[in-house]
Amino acid sequence: MEILEEKEEEAQREKLKGLTISDNLQDVDMKVSAKQVCVPSDVPSIDTSQLPSSYKTNSLKEKKLLRVADHFLWQYTHLCPDRKLLFLHPVNECGLEKFVSTTVRPTLLPYPELYQWDGCASFISDYLTMELLKSPIIPPTSLYSPTTILKYQRGNCFDFSVLLCSMLIGASYDAYCVHGYATREMCTLDTTLELCPLLREPQEVPKKGMKKSNKYRVKPPPDMQSKFELQQEAKNKAEIVAARENKEGEEEVMEVEKGKRDPLYGLRVHAWVLVLSGKRDVPKTFFINPFTGSSHSTTDEHFLGIESIWNHRNYWVNMQDCRNGCKNQNASWHSNRSCQKCKSLLLFQRKKEEVDMSFDMPPSWVAPIQITPREFETRYSQGRKVILYKKAKLEKWAPYLNGNGLMKRLTVYADLDCAEVVKVKEWFKNREDMLDMREMNKQTQLTTDYFSPGHLLSLKAHTYTSLEPEAEHTMEFYSEARVDGLQKRVKNAKEMTEYFVGRDDFLHVRHTEFHKGGKKIHLAGTRTEINSQPIVQIKECFYRNLEKPADEDIAECIFLITENTIHLTYHLKDKYITASKKSFYKEAESDRKGKEIFMIPGRCITYQAGSSEKDKNQLHLYKLLQELTKEEKWLKQQVQQSEAEVLNILKIRKNEESAVKLSFSIYDTERNEKRRQQYEAMVETSLHKEIRRNDLDYLAPFLIQIGHPEKMTKAQALCVRDECLADLKHRLIDKVNIIQARFEQLQKMNQWFQKNRNRLSAEEEDDFLTHHSETMSHIHTLELRLDREKQTATQKYLDLEEKLRKDPRLSEHLGHS
């Protein structure tokens, strides 16, 4: 039975292999979103005229390697006649056969992002444009060099993998190119059935085990809710969830059926990268899909089998049965090169009496891989990339391509057809207003802006429906950058709530309620006028101050402005269930005489927790009322300033959004106009200084002595010449004398050290040896400099004498003398 089953499977496999890829089948295979693939029909031809000679010829060692590879292939086909031909030596862009291992060029590029595997994979997937294989079930007949692939920014899965493997090996990873089989979605970069990585929830950290229950703990109160109502509510929720899951289940079934309808399942050729554990502290072996730059487990069901792997040193063939995917092939990739399940091309295991036939891999024929800073920054082909995921679309842009600094946008949809937008997330970079991300909920119409530290007003986040003052605004701040410790402010037309942290007065919440309408008022100490709303109530909450008794430490203070009432609630004392309270009922301002505040009996109600007697100290209450009245006036000003700050923030945000300004590095002279102008001005200034230096008259100090005559006599000309030469001679002699004096001083110092060396202790002798070495070095330097100055002094004198003779102001008198 097993033999019959194997024959039937082999016959079925041969039948699939013999299928001709008709136009209709190609249409089925190539059914991928045009926005994702983005492969134009006019592929540019490769210019080979400027390529190095290693691209066009093979060295003796490479020719020998090709013969070894052919011999290995002959052995392989003889031992495994039912296996497909190996991907060993395809032709390069010049039409010359090159062994695949020599196409790998290990390279470490000078960008910190490319020192890590995820940075390399992300760059390759973004920088290159994917091209499908000409035949989905046959490996390509050519494999271009990584330099050519980078130049034209396009390639198939083998091109992607070789380039990524070159960069990973250069970054010291144990990486290998893999030739195998994968699903249609992976081979064609169809991510429409995958969840966007930005939407995946982070893995929860497992919580520590709960402590054992204590049998002596107080029992919780009995649950008085109706179990029938809870059952009905749970039933209704279950029906809603079931309906939703049924709908999603139908969609999932459609997706699964769509995947199962692939007539070439298990035959589609693909190439990816294998990274082994060990080097660079990689804890576990994994695969990298070069098209997406994402990592996968070696047991991922998208990878259906492996034919061979290679790096820059060797080539291995998988001898295992890959009909069950890669699940049972893990052991071989963790083993040594001489694994029994993986045949090596160059490193054969032979008996001791046999001759060692090992062969060293020739160096790579590929030119050094180089990526300019501009290419690394621009990254995406044509500056933009679009990826479609399940119910989501991700768009990416190069820096500075968009005037508003937009770098990335994620659009989330409610359906698979991507018709109804649920929310939009946008990421920004290089903005002067420090805007980092914007999240827009299309269902609630709420927009939240997130800012990096450094905003003009210490803004951290801003949630709003519109930038008009009448709308509700939630503003979060970097409290450590503010003097008042404000962390959050929620403001609408009726109320405003402010949250504080780290204040000396222990205030943590201030809540203000307003009347409708408003009037223009002038802010104290400023020239600003705002449309302030009438205040109804101000409520402040305080944390516990342990330096005060609990019944003297205010927990809550409420100012009822319209009712002229103040309510105080103190913190609870230990072992008490009620808190002390005080209520003050002030006179209306119209009933007062002047600005005096009177304490009328019965206008103050107090409750002292733990005491039945009323507080009879009226003076204390009177002083407290005075303080609270001043506090109320100050709080009104604070609320008005908060309103003004909200209006100011909204005004600044409107200006920032209407005229977005981007920041540039001082080293980016192409974009930084201010820095470029400064650099040009500096160059121009230095040029003027050089011109001015060249225009200085070397005879000016000597011509001043004779009054700058328009025409000199012969005696004057001779006098100017002699004084100029004498001045140069004195300067040269002084320079030599200074060097000579320093040289003699160091020699005397060295002689003294040599003479008194025997009198030094061990520690002093160590210092002496160090100092002696430095002194001898200085002596040698000065000796060379002294010789050089003596040699050049005569030449300088002769050069000046020749220059004076040719000077037009002196030449008619000096002649050839």
- pLDDT-derived band at 757 (thresholds 50, 70, 90) equals low
Q: Which of 209-218, 488-497, 545-554, 795-804 has the lowest mean pLDDT?
A: 209-218
Cα distance between the two ends of the chain: 121
pLDDT number for residue 210: 46
Dihedral Cα 318, 324, 327, 330, nearest 10 deg: -20
Give the helix/strand (H/E) hosting 176. strand 175-182
Q: Are residues 166 and 277 in the same domain?
A: yes
pLDDT of residue 736: 85
Are residues 296 and 160 both part of a single domain?
yes
Confidence of residue 656 (pLDDT cuts 50, 70, 90): very high
| Domain end position, chosen among 284, 314, 349 | 349
What separation in angstroms does the CA of 444 have from each of 82, 131, 199, 660, 716? Answer: 61, 41, 19, 26, 96
Taking all residues of the chain, what is their mean pLDDT, rounded to a whole number?
80
Q: What's the pLDDT score for residue 692?
A: 57
Look at residue 715 and tell me whether its pLDDT is greater than 70: yes
Q: How confident is the model at residue 635 (pLDDT cuts 50, 70, 90)?
A: very high
Q: What is the pLDDT of residue 576?
A: 87
DSSP result, 637-650: HHHHHHHHHHHHHH
Same domain, 725 and 647: no
Looking at per-residue pLDDT, the higher value among 184 and 27 belongs to: 184
How far apart are the C-alpha atoms of 238 and 235, rounded to whole Å? 5
Assess whether pLDDT exceeds 50 at residue 572: yes
Do residue 569 and residue 464 come from a single domain? Answer: yes
The H or E element spanning position 509 is: strand 507-514
pLDDT band at 451 (very low <50, low <70, confident <90, very high): very high
Check whether residue 60 and residue 116 sit in a common domain: yes
Last residue of a domain, one of 349, 383, 411: 349
pLDDT at 660: 92
Q: How confident is the model at residue 762 (pLDDT cuts 50, 70, 90)?
A: low
Write the pLDDT tens digit of every residue in 38-63: 333 334 578 888 899 999 999 999 99
Say yes or no to pLDDT of 146 above 90: yes
pLDDT(467) > 80? yes
Q: Which two tokens stand for residue 651?
A: 């005004």
pLDDT exceeds cutoff 60 at 337: no
Residue 291: strand, helix, or coil:
coil
> pLDDT at position 18, please?
41
Question: Using an 8 Å Cβ cutoff, are 571 and 544 in contact?
Answer: yes
**Which pLDDT does position 323 carry in this prediction?**
65
Please name the helix (run of DSSP H) or strand (run of DSSP E) that holds residue 803, with its range, or none.
helix 762-806
Q: Is residue 681 part of a domain?
A: no
Residue 735 has pLDDT above 60, yes or no: yes
Compute the distance between CA of residue 544 and CA of residue 523 in angstroms, rounded to an integer: 33
Number of other CB atoms surrounding residue 118 within 10 Å: 12
Residue 439 lies in a domain: yes
Q: Is residue 27 part of a domain?
A: no
Name the residue with higher pLDDT: 248 or 632: 632
Higher-pLDDT residue of 258 and 509 is 509
Nearest by Cα to 750 from 763, 736, 769: 769
pLDDT for res 215: 61
| Beta partners for residue 474, in sequence order | 463, 490
Query: pLDDT at position 547, please?
Result: 92
CA R_g for the chain: 42
DSSP 354: S
Question: Can you tell me the distance from the alpha carbon of 348 to that of 355, in angstroms, rounded to the nearest whole number?
Answer: 11
CA separation for the pair 305, 307 (Å, rounded): 7
pLDDT tens column, 311-324: 999 999 988 776 66
Helices (H), 82-226: 100-103, 117-127, 146-152, 157-170, 184-187
DSSP sequence for 317-347: EE-S--TTTTGGGHHHHHS-TT-TTEEESS-
Give the mean pLDDT of 197-205: 70
- Please compute the mean of the pLDDT values over residues 148-152 and round it to a whole number: 94
Q: Average pLDDT for residues 279-293, to the nearest whole number?
A: 93
Q: Give me the mean pLDDT over the 127-134 stretch.
A: 93
Judge if 322 and 451 occupy the same domain. no
Asked if residue 161 has pLDDT above 50, the reply is yes
- Could you give the number of structural domains in the chain? 3
620 against 531, higher pLDDT: 620
**One domain for residues 652 and 739:** no
Confidence of residue 476 (pLDDT cuts 50, 70, 90): very high
The reply to whether 647 and 710 lie within a common domain is no
Integer Cα distance of 538 and 441 in angstroms:
32
Compute the average pLDDT of residues 730-743. 86
473: left (phi over 0), alpha (psi -120 to 50) or beta: beta
**Mean pLDDT along residues 173-199:** 92
Bridge partner residues of 719 (DSSP)? none
> Per DSSP, what are the bridge partners of residue 182?
303
Domain assignment present for residue 154? The answer is yes
Q: Which residues of 53-90 are buried (b: 16+ CB within 10 A; e: fewer)?
A: ebbeebeeebeebbeebeebbeebeeeeeeebebbbbb
CA distance linking residue 697 with residue 699, whole number of Å: 5
Residue 351: predicted pLDDT: 32
Percent of the chain with pLDDT over 90: 42
Phi, psi for residue 475 in degrees, rounded to 5: -120, 130
Closest CA to 94 of 50, 126, 136, 124: 50
Average confidence (pLDDT) over 488-502: 94
Task: Identify the CATH number of the domain in which residue 143 sits.
Answer: 3.10.620
Percent of the chain with pLDDT over 70: 77
Among 634, 658, 682, where does a domain finish?
658
User: Which stretch of 103-112, 319-328, 417-426, 591-600 has the lowest confidence by average pLDDT?
Assistant: 591-600
Q: What is the pLDDT of residue 318?
A: 87
- Does 22 have pLDDT greater than 60? no
Neighbour tally for 178: CB within 10 Å = 25
Q: Are residues 719 and 622 in the same domain?
A: no
Please indicate, yes or no, whether residues 101 and 190 belong to a single structural domain of this protein: yes
Higher-pLDDT residue of 139 and 604 is 139
Is 496 found in the same domain as 607?
Answer: yes
Residue 27: the pLDDT is 44
154-155/129-130 β-pairing: parallel
What pLDDT is stored for residue 163 in this prediction?
A: 97
**pLDDT, mean of residues 161-165:** 97
Residue 140 domain boundaries: 54-197+262-329+340-349
Among the residue ranges 55-69, 299-313, 512-526, 775-789, the one predicted with the least confidence is: 512-526
Q: Which residue has the higher pLDDT, 210 or 412?
A: 412
Three-state DSSP at 489 gives: strand
Residue at 268 is within a domain: yes
Could you write out the three-class secondary structure of 59-115? CHHHHHHHHHHHHHHHHHHHHCCCCCCCCCCCECCCCCECCHHHHCCCCCCCCHHHH
pLDDT in the model for residue 129: 92
pLDDT of residue 668: 75
Q: For residue 334, is it within any domain?
A: no
pLDDT band for 673, please (50, 70, 90 cuts). confident
CB distance 767 to 773 below 8 Å:
no
Q: Is 780 found in the same domain as 644? A: no
* Per-residue confidence (pLDDT) for residue 732, from 0 to 100: 86
Distance between CA atoms of 97 and 58, rounded to whole angstroms? 8
- The per-residue pLDDT for range 212-221, each reduced to its tens digit, is 556 666 777 7
234 within a domain of the structure (yes/no)? no
Q: What is the pLDDT of residue 466?
A: 92
Place of tokens 């490193």: 347
Residue 271 has pLDDT above 80, yes or no: yes
pLDDT number for residue 274: 96
Give the model's pLDDT for residue 356: 43
Q: Is residue 669 part of a domain?
A: no
Instruction: Answer whether residue 339 shows pLDDT above 50.
Output: no
Q: Output 226 or 691, whichever has higher pLDDT.
A: 226
Mean pLDDT value across residues 605-626: 75
pLDDT of 357 strictly over 90: no
> 309 — phi, psi (to 5°)?
-135, 155
Rounded Cα distance, 17 and 137, in Å: 8
Q: What is the pTM of this model?
A: 0.67
